[in-house]
Amino acid sequence: MFEMESRGELVEKIEDLVNRKRYTELRDLLLPLEPADIAILADDLDDEKTLPLLFRLLPKEQAAEVFVELESDQQELLIRGFSNTELKEVLDELYLDDTVDIVEEMPANVVKRILKHSDPDMRKSINEILKYPEDSTGSIMTTEFVDLKETMTVEDALKRIRRTGPDKETINVCYVIDDWRHLIGVLSIRTLLLAEEDDIIGDIMERNYICVQTLDDQEETARALGKYDFLALPVVDTENRLVGIVTVDDAIDVLQEETTEDMEKMAAMLPTDKPYLRTSAFDTFKSRIPWLLLLMVSATFTGQIISSFEDALSAFTILTAYIPMLMDTGGNCGSQASVTVIRGLSLGEIEFSDLIQVVWKECRVALLCGTVLAGANFAKLMLLDRMVFHNPITVTVAAVICLTLVCTVFAAKIVGCMLPLLAKKIGFDPAVMASPFITTIVDALSLLIYFRFASFLLGI
């Protein structure tokens, strides 16, 4: 990978070589770079002018790898500029799952052209994978794997791998099937290489294997790959017939997409699949404004609570000064609890059945946090606010603020930990119940608690 500080220099050098038409030097500059790095550089170049030129300068295999790493709009630009021969050459170099990903991102007229220039077997496989639900394991699998029969010898198996392996996405793990394509075992290439040539596959294969089904959630499958440290997982249908595999690179992509989506939802934004710099201002506005409008309207309740206690505030105006502190502290506490629970849910560490245990833990955390915050705040009120800033703080007023702080922290922690679990239970994405939504609820609760304590202790 090139150093980030040299990225700008590389872009300038590429543009200079393009302008001077020094194509041989440009090709030599690109050859040592990784495809992902070339794709990053392409983001800083003039797509319409430079990108097609760079693509045509690269060797066929490297060009195809770069093509996979490009953003969908750049891929579309190249496809529209390809001749039929160039398009077929690129498609022949791509793995099936990468081709499917590209087809899913392209407009209909581009998809028709891709399918038209794909060979019949590839076209059939693409259509089969596209039939699976969007977030299912079947939608991210590839059918390019090595299968063996248990009656084969090691020598026969190695010959088959040499003959078919170049077109497969991975040969690190081979899958043993019967005559009806039922999965009966797995076999690593390491085991094959260390075995004797006349050993029988059925004797050396691993019969205790882990597999996933086509309709399993893709995020669960990605987590399974990480959990068991596998490079690939076999995918079977409901009758245990082997239909494909999911590789670790696809799992990483899934987890990255899911994490990005969760972060956007937690920030009260509609998910988007485009990079930030390639998303127009209007598209960014559309992803943000719905939640902003909802949260703005929901904040009306907070205003109504304050309005209903105007008399109390007019009698003790000093109470107004501490409303922001109480609301912010409550919101922060709720966010801490919700983010922790949402993360636990996404990793499979927490289930709805753990609700009581989670609430009990957050109660203890809230008690500790609330006590420390209230103690520190009482000292600040009496020493700093009263003696230094000469605010009209009495012990009773300080008690109202500190007791409110303890109860607000407690309420915020409970709300923050329960809402994501309840959302998961009823089928909503827990990430929706993150910071902005919980903060709005906690703001209202903190004000109600504040004014109730003020009414009780100050008699207003």
> Domain boundary at 81, 100, 133, which?
133
Q: Residues 120, 178: one domain?
A: no
115 belongs to a structural domain: yes
Residue 137, both tokens: 């394991």
77: domain range? Answer: 4-133
Q: Residues 189, 245: one domain?
A: yes
Q: Residues 237, 94: one domain?
A: no
Q: Residues 227, 319: one domain?
A: no
The amino acid occupying position 318 is I
Residue 194, both tokens: 């260390």
Q: Of 62, 67, 10, 70, nearest to 31 (Cα)?
A: 62
Per-residue confidence in pLDDT tens, the chain, 460 aa? 555 557 778 888 888 888 888 888 989 988 988 988 888 888 887 667 788 888 888 898 888 889 988 888 888 888 888 888 888 888 888 888 888 888 888 888 888 888 888 888 888 888 889 899 988 999 999 999 999 999 999 999 999 999 998 888 889 999 999 999 999 999 999 999 999 999 999 999 999 999 999 999 998 999 899 888 888 999 999 899 999 999 998 888 888 887 777 776 666 566 666 676 677 788 878 877 777 777 777 677 777 777 777 776 676 788 888 888 998 899 889 888 988 898 888 777 888 999 999 999 999 999 999 999 999 999 999 988 888 878 888 899 899 999 999 999 999 999 999 988 988 888 877 776 666 678 788 888 988 899 888 888 887 6
Q: Note the pLDDT of residue 355.
A: 92
CA–CA distances in Å: residue 140 to residues 58, 237, 291: 28, 14, 31
Q: Residues 248, 199: one domain?
A: yes
Q: Residues 429, 306: one domain?
A: yes
Give me the helices (H) in 267-380, please. 281-298, 300-308, 310-315, 323-346, 355-380
| CATH, residue 103 | 1.25.60.10
Q: Note the pLDDT of residue 273.
A: 66
> Domain boundary at 254, 286, 321, which?
254
25 belongs to a structural domain: yes
Q: Residues 333, 445: one domain?
A: yes
289 belongs to a structural domain: no
Q: Residues 120, 77: one domain?
A: yes
| CATH, residue 346 | 1.10.357.20
Q: Residues 423, 381: one domain?
A: yes
Domains in the chain: how many in total? 3
With 0-12 CB in 10 A as exposed, 13-18 as middle and 19+ as buried, what is 163? exposed
The pTM of the whole model exceeds 0.75 = no
Q: Note the pLDDT of residue 434.
A: 62
Q: Residues 307, 454: one domain?
A: yes
Residue 254, both tokens: 């899934």
| CATH, residue 180 | 3.10.580.10
292 belongs to a structural domain: no
277 belongs to a structural domain: no
DSSP 420: H
43 belongs to a structural domain: yes
Place of tokens 């693409």: 126
276 belongs to a structural domain: no
Q: Residues 121, 154: one domain?
A: no
Q: Residues 184, 229: one domain?
A: yes
Q: Note the pLDDT of residue 137.
A: 94
409 belongs to a structural domain: yes
DSSP 51: H
Sheet holding 147-149, edge to edge: 147-149, 173-177, 183-188
